[in-house]
Amino acid sequence: MTARHNASPPPAKTWSGRFSEPVAELVKRYTASVPFDRRMAAQDIRGSLAHARMLARQGIIAAADLADIERGMAQIESEIARGEFAWNLDDEDVHLNIEKRLTALVGDAGKRLHTGRSRNDQVATDIRLWLRDAIDQILALLAGFQRGLLDVAEAHAATPMPGFTHLQVAQPVTFGHHLLAYCEMARRDAERFADCRRRTNHLPLGAAALAGTTYPIDRESVARELGFEEICRNSLDAVSDRDFAIEFCAAGALLMTHLSRLSEELILWMSPRVGFIDLADRFCTGSSIMPQKKNPDVPELVRGKTGRINGHLVALLTLMKSQPLAYNKDNQEDKEPLFDTADTVIDTLRIYTDMITGIRVRADNMRAALAQGHATATDLADYLVKKGLPFRDAHEAVALAVREAEARGHDLSRFDLDELRAALGEVPGAAERLDADVLAALTIEGSLAARAHPGGTAPTAVRAAIARARAALEKET
Ligand code: ARG
């Protein structure tokens, strides 16, 4: 037994002093995070430099040590940028890899960097810095996506298409109005990311492993240097909660869900059976067997990737739900779902903005579809109500007229005045309330124009909504 202790190899790992045998190969691979957390290297270095500067300001390390650390980190940064940094699985994660290299480059100063700090508050800081950058990128892309939607909406502020409920033709809307619905969703998505950014932007450093540290640190100055709004107020909370990452994934899942709905519509609209739009060829693929096919792969993949992103949200919630305070290694599992959510959202927004501004709208097909579903039946009922007929009577009379139009095999709007009077049937007070102006009310343009209130589908209302949305975007970005 005693011999075994003496025979153990010299410590290889940063923390291996108390261990009597090296970590098993499989365990090393199983527990290492460097294959995926090395993408936080820039944030790790930034955080370390801010920490080292504070240590020097507070007299905890010497100015000469700080100079060595800064010199070493500059070298490491350029090694990473040139792809020459030797990432090593033995050193577990991005933090230990960089610290070990620093020590190899500058000696004792490198060993002093970790004074008053733990990987627990270090990793929490790195993730927050990384996520803050990702959110800023997403906010800029969301603004661009909204601008793209607004441009297409403006071009089609007066292009009629059928509005659907239950996927049945309901009432005429304009294509511009339809797109503005997605613009509203994107605006709320941007609000959610901005809100999440506020809570992400707190500094964990200073919490150390869990209880704080005995050195005379100055957390506020580190927060200022790193651009954090404030410091995390409780050391246990600082190292252990990942609620900001969960919020981010929730905002990402909602955004993807919105884009998935739009994707579903693009796919339907592009079906030759519907033919409302065409996507540019660069967003589609052909079939290896059917030469005629042009498949909407990009929207289909957005719809598919939404499942993955929703899964990441559930993964992080589940990761957190049974963890006692404070840090647990479970938290290392936060990164892959988080990174993949950010990557997917960023790529999706990039591709979507290009795709949506490049769609070809087939207005003739939209109008032809509108001429088939008695889309202005509600307008006829509203007309009768405005002439004094109770709504339920008007509804019944129009239902009879629709039935008659169906029997004749044409749309309600094709009746002339006399035919329409007859078609309203025996409902007392209905037929005699019709005047010649009813025919205009039953046209698509008449139906659209009548909904000119804020939030309505009339071209005037759509243009006003676009102007408002543009002004809000300019103010925010
Ligand atoms: N790679 C670890 C993570 O991502 C860093 C923190 C490790 N802390 C520890 N006490 N083992 O969570």
Tokens of 128: 């927050």
The CB of 122 under 6 Å from ligand 1? The reply is no
Question: 95: CA distance to ligand 1 center in Å?
Answer: 9
Helix (H, G, I), strand (E, B) or coil at 195: helix
388: left (phi over 0), alpha (psi -120 to 50) or beta: left
Contact assessment for residue 447 and residue 441, using Cβ atoms and an 8 Å cutoff: yes
In a domain, 164, yes or no: no
In a domain, 10, yes or no: no
Interhelix angle 335-357/243-270, nearest 10 degrees: 30
Whether residue 358 is found in the same domain as residue 449? no
Please identify, by atom number, the ligand 1 atom nearest to the C-alpha of residue 209: 10
The CB of 33 under 6 Å from ligand 1? The reply is yes
Catalytic one of 5, 166, 288, 453: 166
In a domain, 167, yes or no: no
Substitution site in 332, 333, 334, 335 for ligand 1 pocket (most atoms within 8 Å of beta carbon)? 332
In the predicted structure, residue 161 carries a pLDDT above the cut 90: yes
In a domain, 361, yes or no: yes
In the predicted structure, residue 303 carries a pLDDT above the cut 70: yes
In a domain, 168, yes or no: no
In a domain, 471, yes or no: yes
- Name the residue range of residue 78's domain: 22-115
Whether residue 34 is found in the same domain as residue 99? yes
- Of 368, 398, 424, the domain-final residue: 368
Interval 325-352: pLDDT, tens: 999 999 999 999 999 999 999 999 999 9
Whether residue 433 is found in the same domain as residue 377? yes
Which amino acid is it at 275? G
Whether residue 104 is found in the same domain as residue 143? no
Contact assessment for residue 149 and residue 123, using Cβ atoms and an 8 Å cutoff: no
In the predicted structure, residue 2 carries a pLDDT above the cut 70: no
Percent of the chain with pLDDT over 90: 90
Could you tell me how many helices (H) and strands (E) the chain has, helices first? 21, 6
Whether residue 256 is found in the same domain as residue 349? yes
- Of 115, 143, 166, the domain-final residue: 115
- For β-strands 277-278 and 360-361, DSSP reports them as antiparallel
What are residue 160's phi and psi, to 5 degrees?
-80, 145
Residue 3: per-residue pLDDT: 39
Which amino acid is it at 57? R
In a domain, 126, yes or no: yes
Residue 95 falls in the annotated catalytic set: no
Interval 5-51: pLDDT, tens: 444 444 467 777 788 898 899 999 999 999 999 999 999 999 999 99
In the predicted structure, residue 110 carries a pLDDT above the cut 80: yes
The CB of 447 under 6 Å from ligand 1? The reply is no
Exposure string (b/e) for 48-73, b if CB count within 10 Å is 16 or more? Answer: bbbbbbbbbeeebbeeebbebbbebb
The CB of 235 under 6 Å from ligand 1? The reply is no
In a domain, 5, yes or no: no
The CB of 462 under 6 Å from ligand 1? The reply is no
Strand residue runs (E) in 207-256: 230-231
- Of 340, 368, 396, the domain-final residue: 368
Whether residue 63 is found in the same domain as residue 187? no
Instruction: Tell me how many domains the chain contains.
Output: 3
Strand residue runs (E) in 175-223: 202-203
Question: How many CA atoms does the CB half-sphere of 118 hold within 13 Å?
Answer: 20
pTM over cut 0.85: yes
Mean of pLDDT values over 225-235: 98
> H or E segment at 174?
strand 168-174
What is the C-alpha separation between 122 and 39, in angstroms, rounded?
Answer: 15
Whether residue 418 is found in the same domain as residue 429? yes
